[in-house]
Structure 1
Amino acid sequence: MAEIKESSRPGFAAVVFSTFSTVFIAELGDKTQLATLLLSAQSGSPWLVFLGAALALICSSLVGVLLGQWLARTLPPERLETMAGLLMVALGLWLGAQAIQTLMLDTTGA
């Protein structure tokens, strides 16, 4: 259906660098990193925790890659970009509402 022309695709290094930097920055300080920190401290086996966390990230990334590949073949690129943008805005609003709710509870002393 919606095929991307070979000439419009970014090069190998650009794809690897943008993917690495995006995932690396997105994962810094999130719940997963905090969970692995605590698991490493509890277990006393940091390399096993690293191996388990790395395998989990690889598997969850594989799901995203396969789903993205399927969506790219199914939907036109413009619709896919619009849907991704709306999803990001919705997630931002949802997380913002949760933060406001938490702040309101903290200030009321509940």
Structure 2
Amino acid sequence: ILAESADAGVYLAASKNKQQVYLTGHPEYDASTLHEEYLRDSSKNTDTPLPKNYYQDDDASKPPVGSWRSHGSLLYTNWLNYYVYQMTPYQLDASNIRAIHPDTVI
């Protein structure tokens, strides 16, 4: 478990070899995505709970705060850099760059 909270539980976990990463949230969401989901769900069920820490002053008539955007970008950037790019063998010289067909050199 890499990240968790008492309120939400496990957020980020990885296998011991770090080759599998599991994320239970949606840091890729735009600021309005959860709002649209909340409106959809609350129109069907008036008991739909208000998302915590999402709207200014927890008031659905106010715009979403969107405080997770920088976290989401940093999470994906770090994941790509640490778990993908650092483990991907590649050579940057043009003679090793191939098009979709492996016999074609760009």
Q: TM-score, normalised by structure 2?
A: 0.30
| Higher strand fraction (1 or 2) | 2
Q: Which is higher, the Rg of structure 1 or of structure 2?
A: 2
Larger RCO (CA under 8 A, 6+ residues apart): 1
| Higher helix fraction (1 or 2) | 1
Q: TM-score, normalised by structure 1?
A: 0.30
